Structure 1
Amino acid sequence: MTDLRVVDVAEAQLDSVWEVRIRSFGPGGDRDEWRKTALRFIADGRYLGVVDGDQLVAAARIWPFEQWWGGRRVPLGGVAGVVVAPEYRGQGVGSLLMRGVLQRCVEKGYPLTALYPATTVLYRHLGYEFAGGRYKFSFQAADLRTLGGKGTAVRKASRADAELFLQLAGKSHETRRSNGPLIWPTSEIESWLEDEDNFAYVADDGFVVYNWSDGNLAVDELVAGSEETARALWATVGSGASIARTVHAYCPPFDPIHLLAEHEAEGDARINRWMLRLVDAPTAIAGRGFPEGVVLEADLRIDDPELPTNTGDWHLSVVDGVGRLTPSEPSSDALRLGPRGLAALYAGTPLTALRGAGLAAGGAATADSALDAVFGGATPYMLDYF
C-alpha cells in the first residue's frame, strides 16, 4: 500500500463506494436513491475517498449543516457514511481519510464538525469528543390523545411549508437557547414533506412530523411555541391510539412533554451519543451564543496537532452573550486543552470532568466556575441521525 492518497470521489467510483458500504454496514437501502444523493455530494466537493493506486478503498461524505449553540447558528460539517474496505482496516486508512475530511471542512468554512461514531478510538485520536446525545423516549399513545389543545387550529403540511418549518424551529431554538439541534438544507426538508410515509401538521407557532414504526408511531420532531400548541400537536399524534399503543419520540430530556404527559416515559429510553470537533476555534467561539450577563476573561493554551491553526496561546473574552478568542502572549494561568478537551468544553462539559479525564490542566484557580457558567446551559441534543 504505497500509493494511498485522498481523492474526491468521482461518479465512476460510486459502484466501488457501494461495494465497500455493503461490506461495512451490511445490505439495505435503495441503491438508486443513495446514488442520487451521492451525486449531490460529489457536485459540491463533499464526498472524499482513499484510493490505493486506482482502487477505491474508503470513503466519507460531509453534510452542509448548521447547528444551534447557545441559541445561535454555527456552520457544521456533518461527517457520515465513513467506510473502509475490510482488507484495509487497522492500517491507518481511516485516519488518512478523516484527515482529508478535516481539511475539506477547513476549505468549506465549517468551524465545527460532528459525527455519530462507529468507533471512538479513531475519532478521539483525531480530536473528536462526545458532546451530546440523540434521545428516544416512549410514551403511551392514550396519554397523548387526551392532552387537549382543541382550540388550536392544526392543518396538514405540504412541501410548500418547508421554509415555515425552518422559521418556526429557528424561533424555538433561539428562545430556548438550544445546544445541538441541526439545521438541514431546505431541499431535504421539502423531500421529507413530500414523503407519503411522513405525516406532517402545522399550527401558527409549531409543527410535528411523525410516521408509523413497527405498529407504533414515531415522532421525528415536534416544535411548539406555546402550551396549547404543544397539547394540540401531541394530541394529533395520540389520535392514533386505537391502533398504536406506544409513541416513540425523539426529543430532549427537558422537553415540555415530560411535564405534560400524565405517565412517565417508559424506562427504556435510548441514547445515541455524537461527537464534536472544533475546526476553526476563533470562528466557532465567535459564532456560539453565550449567557447574557455573564462576563469572562480567561487565557487558554490549545495544542491541536491535526489543525495547527488552532494551536497557540489565546485569550477568551465573553461579554453580553458574545465570545471572542484572540491570540495572546503566553500566560502561566492559561488553561491547557487539546482538541478533545476544547470540544467537550464548547459543549458544556464541566471542568471537573475534563480535569478528571486528563483533558484539561492548569488555569487560574478561580476560573473553572466562570468557564462552567459561560459554556453551560441546556443539555446538547440532536433529533436526527445522519
Structure 2
Amino acid sequence: MTELRVVDVTEEQLDSVWRVRIRSFGPGGDRDEWKKNARAFIADRRILGVVDGDELIAAARIWPFEQWWNGRSVPMGGVAGVVVAPEYRGRGVGSLMMRGVLQRCVEKGYPLTALYPATTVLYRHLGYEFGGGQYKFSLQAADLRTLGGSGTAVRRATVEDVDRLLELATASNAAKRTSGPLIWPRTEILSWLEDEDTFAYVAEDGFVVYRWSDGDLVVDELVAGSETTARALWATVGSGSSIATTVQAYCAPFDPIHLLAEHEAQGDARIVRWMLRLVDAPAALAARGYPAGAVLDLDLRIDDPELPANSGDWHLSIADGSAQLTQAEPSDGALRLGPRGLAGLYAGTPVAALRGAGLISGAGAADAALDAVFGGQTPYMLDYF
C-alpha cells in the first residue's frame, strides 16, 4: 500500500464507490438513482473516501439529521454507507475512514453522531456505544380496522403538506419528550410524498405514512395528538385488511397502539440497535432536554482520545431543564468516563449497567441523581439509514 488518505469523494469517483458498495453489500438498488442522491452529499462535503494512491478503497456518507432527546432536537450526523474494499479489510482502513468522518462532523457542527453498526468492534474502538433501537411490531390488520375514529377527518397528504407534517412531528416529539426519533431533511420528506408507492394521510393533529411490502402493510410513522386521531389513522391503515392480514409497524415499544389494539403484537418483534457518540460534549449536553425539576451538580473527568477537545476536567450543572458543561479544576470525586460511557449516559443507560461494564467509575453517590436526570423513555428510531 502507498500512503492512505481520507479525501472528499468527487463525482468522478462515484463509480468506484458503487463498485465497493456492491462488493460490501451485494447487488441491488438503482445505480443511477444512487448516484443522483450521492451528488447532494458531494455538494455539501458529506461523503468521504479513503484512497490508496489514485484508487478509492473505502467510503462513508453523513446525513444532516436532527435527533430528539427528551423533547429537544439536537443536530446529529447520521453515518451511513460505510464500505471498505474486501482486499483492504483488517488493515485499519475502516478506522481511518471513521476518524475522517468524526472530524468532518466536528467541522459541520454536529454535537452528536449515530449509526447502525455492521460490526460493533470498529465503532466501539472509536467511542460509539448503543443508544437505542429501531422497533418493528407485527399487528393484526383486522384489529386496526375496528379501532374507530370515523368522526375524525382524514385526507390524503400531498407535497403541499410537507411543512405541516414537520410541524406535527415536532409538536408531538416535544410534548411527549421523546428520545431518538429523527428529523429528516425537508427535501427527503418531499421525495417520500412524491413517491406513488408511499401513502400518507393527514388529520388535524396527526398523520400516517405507510406502504406495501411483500403482501403486508408497513407503517413507517404515525403521529397522533389525541386518542381519536390515533384510532382514525390506524383504522385507515387497517382498512386494507381484506388484502393484508398483517401490518408491520415501526413505532416505540410504549406507543399507544399497544394499549388500543385488542390483540397483542406478535412475538416476533424485530429490534435493530443503533449506536451513539458525542462529538462536542458541551454542545450536546446543552442541547439535550432534561426532566423538569431535575437538579445536578457534578464534576466529570472525560478521556476521549479520538476527540481531545472533549477530554479534561469539567463541571456539569443541570437545572430548569437545561445543562451546562464548563471546564473545571481536577477533582478526586469526579465521575470518570470515556466516550462510550458518555454516550451511554446521554442515552439514559442505567448507571449501574455502565458501572458493571466498566464504562464509568467514581462519584458513586451520584448514581440516583444521574439516573433521574438522564433516564426516561426508551430511546428509539423509526428509520434505518
Amino acid at match of 1:117: P
TM alignment of 1:1-386, pairs within 5 A: 1-363=1-363, 365-386=364-385
> Post-superposition shift, 1:244?
0.3
Amino acid at match of 1:375: F
- The Cα offsets for residues 184-227 of structure 1, whole Å up to 9 and x where unpaired, read as 00000000011000110000000000001111100000000000
- The Cα offsets for residues 227-246 of structure 1, whole Å up to 9 and x where unpaired, read as 00000000000000000000
What's the secondary structure of 1:80's corresponding residue? strand
Distance 2:308 2:132 in 1: 26
> Post-superposition shift, 1:366?
1.9
- The Cα offsets for residues 343-376 of structure 1, whole Å up to 9 and x where unpaired, read as 000000011000000101111x320000010001
Distance 2:141 2:299 in 1: 51
Distance 1:66 1:216 in 2: 30
Distance 1:244 1:2 in 2: 56
Distance 1:225 1:106 in 2: 36
Runs of 4+ aligned residues of structure 1 deviating over 3 Å after TM superposition are none
Mind listing any 5+ residue stretches in structure 2 that lack a counterpart? none
> Post-superposition shift, 1:2?
2.8
What's the secondary structure of 1:264's corresponding residue? coil
Q: How many equivalent residue pairs?
A: 385
Distance 1:146 1:264 in 2: 15
Mind listing any 5+ residue stretches in structure 1 that lack a counterpart? none
Structure 1-normalised TM-score?
0.99
> Post-superposition shift, 1:71?
0.3
What's the secondary structure of 2:170's corresponding residue? helix
- The Cα offsets for residues 11-56 of structure 1, whole Å up to 9 and x where unpaired, read as 0000000000000000000111100110000000000000000000
Distance 2:205 2:71 in 1: 18
Question: What percent identity do the matched residue pairs reach?
Answer: 79
Distance 1:325 1:368 in 2: 18
- The Cα offsets for residues 280-315 of structure 1, whole Å up to 9 and x where unpaired, read as 000000000000011110111000000000000111
Structure 2-normalised TM-score?
1.00
What's the secondary structure of 1:241's corresponding residue? coil
What's the secondary structure of 2:229's corresponding residue? helix
- The Cα offsets for residues 132-181 of structure 1, whole Å up to 9 and x where unpaired, read as 00000000000000000011000000111111111000000000100000
**CA root-mean-square deviation:** 0.5
What's the secondary structure of 1:201's corresponding residue? strand
> Post-superposition shift, 1:3?
1.5
What's the secondary structure of 2:240's corresponding residue? helix
Amino acid at match of 2:347: A
What's the secondary structure of 2:64's corresponding residue? strand
What's the secondary structure of 1:314's corresponding residue? strand
What's the secondary structure of 1:370's corresponding residue? helix
- The Cα offsets for residues 325-344 of structure 1, whole Å up to 9 and x where unpaired, read as 11011111101000000000
Distance 1:232 1:151 in 2: 8
